[in-house]
Amino acid sequence: MAFIIPKSYKLKLLPETTEKAIKTLKDSFEEKLAKTLNLRRVTAPLFVLSGTGINDDLNGNEHAVSFPIKSMDDRKAEVVHSLAKWKRMKLGAYGIAPGYGLYTDMNAIRTHEELDNLHSLYVDQWDWEQTITERDRNLDYLKNTVEKIYKAIKEIEQKIYAEFPHITPQLPDNITFLHAEELLRQYPTLPAKDREAKAARKYGAIFLIGIGNTLSNGEPHDGRAPDYDDWVTPNSDGYFGLNGDIILWNPILECAFELSSMGIRVNKNSLLRQLELRNCMERTELSFHKSLLNEELPLSIGGGIGQSRLCMYLLQKAHIGEVQASIWPEDQMKKCTQHNIMLL
């Protein structure tokens, strides 16, 4: 995505008021998410040891920020990309029962990002994970969880409107479920991100299922690492995959706006299949993967919800730098100032 200067952008909150609104929004949503999904808060690491398989690959090709640890003979540590695997390990360590789970603040540094309105070097998410049973590993459970999260987002949107009546709600009443293969069949000549934009504009809010596996055109809709979300298991819609992305339509930037990536996590069988498809069988020797293959970890569903992304969308900002402090190219900062986009 290229840097966008939206047409006729109107600043709805000054930076000082924005800071207050951010705190209100984050506190309220965090509390609502925890209550909705039966989650308890835990403390999370900023970095993990390299070579354990605990860190996440996201799309499968990103490189983590790393550094040597002097007091451990220069053993390398990595800043987390997300906490998908770490959370699952904690579910097991804490013995959390099915239907209950945990959440945490996840902070990451992603140096590979192309900096624009939606992408920053600094990533902040609510990372959450919930224990499930074998009978919960299905599309209905995934959809039901998505609807609970979407309802929580809608309620916070109304709370913001009650406090700042000039920020009028813009989300549709319901979220629409689509499979990536359906989207490809609807728009066979368009690239994946353009297909997303078409659907997001049409419905306002979608959950796009099946991110990671190969579609009928021989390509995945988008990359997804092989060892956390299950994108290979057939589902009740006649397609495959028990994962997906929450994508909203952003009327200010006129673009698709990914808010969350989530899914039912791999079990022993789907992990082996996905590692084979991605030619990553060597990962079976890593500690996390060994635990999973030995069925020592609980079955789970989980994901991440962008904190700055949610604030940006609900406060109707044009740039993620209006709701978080980070580093931006000088020319981008200059253009923002010229167009009344006030970066923190």
- Here the CATH number for the domain that contains residue 69 is 3.30.930.10
Catalytic residue among 82, 120, 260, 261: 261
How many C-beta atoms lie closer than 10 Å to residue 81's C-beta? 23
* 125 flagged as catalytic: yes
Catalytic residue among 82, 120, 125, 274: 125
Q: Is residue 196 part of a domain?
A: yes
Catalytic residue among 110, 137, 195, 265: 110
Catalytic residue among 130, 258, 260, 324: 258
- Contact yes or no for 112/63 (Cβ under 8 A): yes
Tokens of 268: 């022993």
Q: Is residue 162 part of a domain?
A: yes
The secondary structure of 258-279 as a DSSP string is EEEEEEEBP-HHHHHHHHHHTT
As for how many domains the chain has, the answer is: 1
Buried b (16+ CB within 10 A) or exposed e, 62-77: bebbeeeeeeeeeeeb
Would the pLDDT of 58 be above 60? no
Q: Is residue 3 part of a domain?
A: no
Length of the chain equals: 344
Strands of the 176-179 sheet, one edge to the other: 39-41, 101-109, 122-131, 300-306, 255-264, 243-250, 205-209, 176-179
Q: Is residue 4 part of a domain?
A: no
Q: Is residue 309 part of a domain?
A: yes
Tokens of 270: 């789907």
- Residue 4 pLDDT: 79
Q: Is residue 178 part of a domain?
A: yes
Tell me which residue range forms the domain holding 234.
15-338
Would the pLDDT of 62 be above 70? no
164-167: long-range contacts, CB 8 A cutoff, minimum separation 24? 164/12, 164/13, 164/21, 166/12, 167/12, 167/13, 167/314, 167/315, 167/316
pLDDT in tens, 184-221: 999 999 999 999 999 999 999 999 999 999 999 999 99
* 245 flagged as catalytic: yes
Cα distances (angstroms) measured from residue 14 to each of 11, 17, 260, 316, 333 = 7, 5, 27, 12, 17
* 110 flagged as catalytic: yes
Of the pLDDT bands very low, low, confident and very high (cuts 50, 70, 90), residue 256 is very high
168 vs 10: which has the higher pLDDT: 168
What is the value of pTM for the model shown?
A: 0.91
d(CA 148, CA 137): 17
pLDDT in tens, 106-157: 888 887 778 888 898 888 999 999 999 999 999 999 999 999 999 999 999 9
- Residue 46 pLDDT: 84
Catalytic residue among 88, 245, 274, 324: 245
Q: Is residue 8 part of a domain?
A: no
